[in-house]
Amino acid sequence: MRLRKSIRFICIITFFLALLGIPFSYLSLETTALVTVLSSTLWFLEYFLFERNTIPKVSNFALDLEVVRNLATSKEDQFPTHLNSLIIAEGEIPDWIVVAGGAPQNFQISFTSFQVVYRDKTIIIECPFNKVLYDKFCRFKLLGIKGKAFYERNFDIMQKALLEADSILVTHEHWDHLGGIAQSPHINELMRKTVLTSEQKSGHTIKMANFPKEVLDKYIPLEYESYHILSPGLVLIKAPGHSCGSQLIYLQLSNGEEFLFIGDIAWNLINIQRLKNHSRIGMLLRYENGRNLGHQLRWLFDNIWRNPKEKIHIVTSHDLKHLEYYHHIGLIGDQFHKM
């Protein structure tokens, strides 16, 4: 934040000093022209990469919650009774990656696995990476990424829960969402119940999770158009943008509480609350489709955040404070159930 502001300040000062250099002949015309072009280019780049916010006025993201709700309730079976979470690791990421225009401070993030509990089965959503991949993630120190803690015990609990689960889902194919499957000692057993879409299987960023080649080669992915009901109360919704295989996951519990897992469309709730897209530099680093993200953020803002009639709970993958709030009000459990 401070570095970015300093760059902008130096650019502006240099730009105007170079202009003033012409009437007072402090600089040659060539030097003045060169300095003016360089400083204005740097100024423009700083604006384009860090400041520019691409949020449309009207969203074209085609998500019809009523259709999703009808699908979720179309199977005559038991609905899930609980939603639990388990924090596998924590860290910190810089404000300028998360939000165009930055924020007053960096963001504390969690890498979390979720457990959907039915009377007779469980479904796991998100399987964060193991310690080896987590340490690799923490090595991007130059970008301002900081590691904080990796909870080995919770990773082991997640592995056990994966073995016991009926199905395993991820919002998208990034290593911090499926590395726990790729690096599992039980990978072959887990892949039999893991539901990856064809876009997730073939997405180029899945390689960072280090799946054994032969495991992915023989894996038959799920194909669906816009919506797919996986289990009573649980519907998958296509939402490419953060990655080509990104999807939302809608969940309805038997007590009527509804959740929408949005993956990394918003790294932090601030993206939705303040209608701020990820920075363009962040999009470039993660190969994101910023246009799609802008439409999805606009949709979440208009239809959920600013809609007093809508009671569905947004669940991001990494917003630690928001997850702790859900723990605090008892909406999401902070441990996994043992089956």
Asked whether position 264 contacts Zn ion by CB under 5 A, the answer is yes
HSE of 179 in the Cβ direction (CA atoms, 13 Å)?
21
- Contact region for Zn ion (CB under 5 A) — 23-31, 128-136, 258-266, 275-283? 258-266
Say how far apart CA 120 and CA 131 lie, in whole Å: 31
Q: Chain-centre distance of CA 25, in angstroms?
A: 53
- Contact region for Zn ion (CB under 5 A) — 194-202, 253-261, 311-319, 320-328? 311-319
| Cβ-based nearer residue to Zn ion, 232 or 240 | 240
Residue keyed to tokens 């165009």: 100
Asked whether position 4 contacts Zn ion by CB under 5 A, the answer is no
Measured from the CB of residue 269, what is the shortest distance to Zn ion in angstroms? 15
Query: Hey, which bits of the chain come out as E strands?
Result: 82-93, 107-117, 122-125, 146-150, 167-169, 227-231, 234-238, 247-252, 258-263, 313-316
Residue of 174, 276, 278, 322 interacting with Zn ion (CB under 5 A): 174
- Contact region for Zn ion (CB under 5 A) — 64-72, 98-106, 259-267, 268-276? 259-267
Helix (H, G, I), strand (E, B) or coil at 312: coil
- Contact region for Zn ion (CB under 5 A) — 186-194, 257-265, 297-305, 327-335? 257-265
| Cβ-based nearer residue to Zn ion, 95 or 176 | 176
Measured from the CB of residue 30, what is the shortest distance to Zn ion in angstroms? 47
Measured from the CB of residue 279, what is the shortest distance to Zn ion in angstroms? 15
Strand partners, 92: 108, 146
Asked whether position 278 contacts Zn ion by CB under 5 A, the answer is no
Residue of 90, 95, 126, 176 interacting with Zn ion (CB under 5 A): 176
| Cβ-based nearer residue to Zn ion, 171 or 231 | 171
Footprint (CB under 5 A) of Zn ion, residues 186-205:
none
Helix (H, G, I), strand (E, B) or coil at 61: coil
Measured from the CB of residue 286, what is the shortest distance to Zn ion in angstroms? 7
| Phi, psi angles (nearest 5°) of residue 281 | -65, -40
User: Total residues at the site for Zn ion (CB under 5 A)?
Assistant: 4
Say how far apart CA 51 and CA 44 lie, in whole Å: 10
From the list 248, 229, 231, 216, the residue with the least C-alpha distance to 166 is 231
The CB density around residue 108, as the number of other CB atoms within 10 Å, is: 17
Binding track, positions 135-154, relative to Zn ion; x by CB under 5 A: --------------------
| Cβ-based nearer residue to Zn ion, 106 or 317 | 317
- Contact region for Zn ion (CB under 5 A) — 28-36, 46-54, 126-134, 171-179? 171-179
Say how far apart CA 247 and CA 171 lie, in whole Å: 5
DSSP state of 186: T
Measured from the CB of residue 317, what is the shortest distance to Zn ion in angstroms? 5
Q: Which H or E run contains 307? A: none
Q: Torsion-angle region of residue 126: left (phi > 0), alpha (psi -120 to 50) or beta?
A: left
Which residues are within 8 A (CB) of 64 and not within 5 positions of it... i.e. 6 or more apart? none
- Contact region for Zn ion (CB under 5 A) — 58-66, 135-143, 216-224, 263-271? 263-271
Query: Which positions lie near Zn ion, rule CB under 5 A?
Result: 174, 176, 264, 317
